[in-house]
Structure formats: structure tokens, C-alpha cells
């Protein structure tokens, strides 16, 4: 691990920064854009990855959706000999909260570990404004935000546990590290994982499973389209949802034949 910027503490150098990581390719993210959070969660469960749905954060605005590579930020409990909220708005310039924003790339989704705190306003108007200006796509924070009206006006998709008038280190937490593994709503997120979030919530897709997931999801979407058409024609639900061995063969023939309208 390495550190950058002047630390607010001489006891432990802050902020902590993790190692470099790879983001998902634009093509993979484009294909993932058609995958809902529910589909991603279900497919990952079938692949043996059970804890992927971030518990707690909900969309600040209904109808929000984002897909992108995870950039991570970790808050930690304050300890007065290392870091506290005293004069926070000035000290904050030298914390992980400011530092991570300087690393934002086009399409990043910032995933924040804040322990579901009801008191810590991890982001407000100015920080979200800068995040957007840097090209950030969305934020998933296991905690709260402030300046809610102004933040909504910015149009950045945000998933959070609510709002608060507090600033980031006014109470019990302090921005500690970035580009490190974080726990968001009970889910492990590594830098470079893929985040899929919509009205159902946010799902963390392990980077090594993303391609397999999107291939499976594309097939799933195709056979569901076929099944809908068959159901509209009066077919039995149990024969076409999910597909049986016979209806699967019928679907594959339809798919390989160019997906013609069903008579």
C-alpha cells in the first residue's frame, strides 16, 4: 500500500491508497448496460456468488440506473489521536474523500463503505458536482448524503441510505482509504468490479465473473423474449417458463433461424 497527500495525523499516514487496478472494458460495460440488477443478482447466485446485492442504499431518485467500474472509498471510525472531525472542512482536503475524486475516470461508479451511518453525510453538492465534472457515472454509498436538493438537480445517479445535514466527518467516521476493498451493505466490493444499479438496488459483479454473467444474461433475455411470444399465443407457462428440454430445443431453432415472428 502507498500513501499520498499530507496526512492529518502523524500517528498513521493518511490517506491510505491501495494498488492500481483494471477497469472493465467499454465493450463489456456496453453489453452489461442491458442487464438489470435483478438479473445480475440471480445469475451470480447461479454461478455460486451469493452475496452481491448491496443492502440498505436505495436510489435517491426513482428511475435511476447506472453500470460502471467500481472506484472505492472507505470511511473508518474516528479516533482522536489519528483523525477526528475537528475543523473537518479544512482537514478534509488531505483525506481519501478529496483524493479519490482526483482519480475518477469516465464512467466510474464510486462505491463507499460508511457502515450505514445515519449521521455521516458522505457527499454533498460540491463533491458530487466535481465528481460529475470528472466524468463519474454514479455513486453507491452505504450511508447518507447532504445538500439533497442541489444534488438531485445535478442528475448524478446516487444510491444511499438517506440524507442528513451533517458533513462527512462531523460525527463518527473519517475518510480513510481509497482503491481498497470495501464492504458496502454487507457486500465485498473490490476496485474494478462492475456495479449494476437500478430501482431494485445496487449489485456488485466480481470483475472475473462479468463476462460469463453478461453472456448468460444475453441468452436469458433472448429465451424470455421467445417465451413471451409463446405465452401470448396461449402456450402453457410450465412449458415455456423456464424452458424445458423440448422448448429449449424449439427456442434454439428459432434463435438460429434468425428469430422470425412466431405464427
pLDDT in tens, 169-209: 777 899 999 999 999 999 999 999 999 999 999 999 999 99
Residue 201 near residue 57 (C-beta atoms within 8 A) = yes
Cell numbers 423456464 label which residue?
Answer: 242
Looking at residue 86, its pLDDT comes to: 62
Mark whether 6 and 121 lie in a shared domain: yes
Q: How far is CA 128 from CA 1, 124, 139, 229, in A?
A: 27, 6, 9, 44
Looking at residue 90, its pLDDT comes to: 60
Direct distance between the N- and C-terminal alpha carbons of the chain, in angstroms, rounded to an integer: 62
Mark whether 24 and 137 lie in a shared domain: yes
Residue 252 is part of which domain span?
212-256
Mark whether 35 and 133 lie in a shared domain: yes
Which stretches does DSSP call E strand in 12-65?
16-17, 58-59
Q: What is the pLDDT of residues 87-116, one digit of tens each?
A: 555 666 789 999 999 999 999 999 999 999
Enter the C-alpha cell of residue 96: 481519501
The answer as to whether 197 is a domain residue is yes
**Long-range CB contacts (within 8 A, 24+) of 238-245:** none
pTM of the model: 0.88
Q: Cβ neighbours of residue 205 under 8 Å, at least 6 residues apart?
A: 32, 40, 44, 52, 193, 194, 195, 196, 213
Three-state DSSP at 247 gives helix
Looking at residue 3, its pLDDT comes to: 42
Q: What is the pLDDT of residues 35-91, one digit of tens each?
A: 999 999 999 999 999 999 999 999 999 999 999 999 999 999 988 788 776 655 566
User: Could you tell me which of 67, 42, 25, 65 has the C-alpha nearest to residue 217?
Assistant: 42
Mark whether 224 and 118 lie in a shared domain: no
Look at the chain and report how many structural domains it folds into: 2
Can you tell me the mean pLDDT for 137-157?
A: 97
Residue 100 near residue 129 (C-beta atoms within 8 A) = no
Mark whether 115 and 19 lie in a shared domain: yes
The answer as to whether 127 is a domain residue is yes
Please report, for the domain that includes residue 8, its CATH number.
3.50.30.40
Mark whether 8 and 76 lie in a shared domain: yes
Looking at residue 12, its pLDDT comes to: 82
Amino acid at each position: 500500500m502507498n500513501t499520498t497527500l499530507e496526512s492529518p495525523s502523524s500517528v498513521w499516514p493518511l490517506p491510505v491508497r491501495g494498488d492500481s487496478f483494471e477497469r472493465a472494458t467499454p465493450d463489456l460495460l456496453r453489453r452489461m448496460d442491458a442487464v438489470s440488477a435483478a438479473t445480475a443478482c440471480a445469475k451470480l447466485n447461479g454461478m455460486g456468488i451469493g452475496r452481491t446485492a448491496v443492502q440498505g442504499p436505495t436510489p435517491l431518485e426513482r428511475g435511476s440506473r447506472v453500470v460502471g467500474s467500481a472506484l472505492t472509498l472507505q470511511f473508518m471510525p474516528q479516533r482522536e489521536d489519528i483523525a477526528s472531525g475537528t475543523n473537518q472542512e479544512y482537514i478534509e482536503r488531505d483525506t481519501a474523500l478529496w483524493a479519490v475524486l482526483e482519480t475518477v475516470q469516465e464512467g466510474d461508479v464510486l462505491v463507499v463503505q460508511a457502515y450505514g451511518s445515519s449521521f455521516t453525510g458522505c457527499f454533498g453538492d460540491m463533491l458530487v458536482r466535481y465528481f460529475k465534472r470528472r466524468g463519474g457515472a454514479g455513486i453507491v454509498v452505504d450511508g447518507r448524503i447532504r445538500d439533497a436538493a442541489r444534488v438531485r438537480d445535478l442528475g448524478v445517479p446516487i444510491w444511499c441510505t438517506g440524507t442528513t445535514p451533517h458533513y462527512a466527518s462531523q460525527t463518527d467516521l473519517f475518510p480513510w482509504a481509497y482503491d481498497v476493498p470495501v464492504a458496502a451493505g454487507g457486500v465485498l466490493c473490490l476496485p474494478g468490479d462492475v456495479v449494476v444499479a437500478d430501482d431494485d438496488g445496487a449489485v456488485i459483479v466480481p470483475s472475473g465473473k462479468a463476462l460469463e454473467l453478461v453472456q448468460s444474461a444475453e441468452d436469458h433475455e433472448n429465451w424470455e423474449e421467445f417465451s413471451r411470444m409463446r405465452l401470448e399465443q396461449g402456450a402453457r407457462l410450465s412449458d415455456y417458463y423456464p424452458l424445458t428440454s423440448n422448448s429449449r430445443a424449439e427456442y434454439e431453432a428459432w434463435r438460429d433461424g434468425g428469430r422470425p415472428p412466431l405464427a
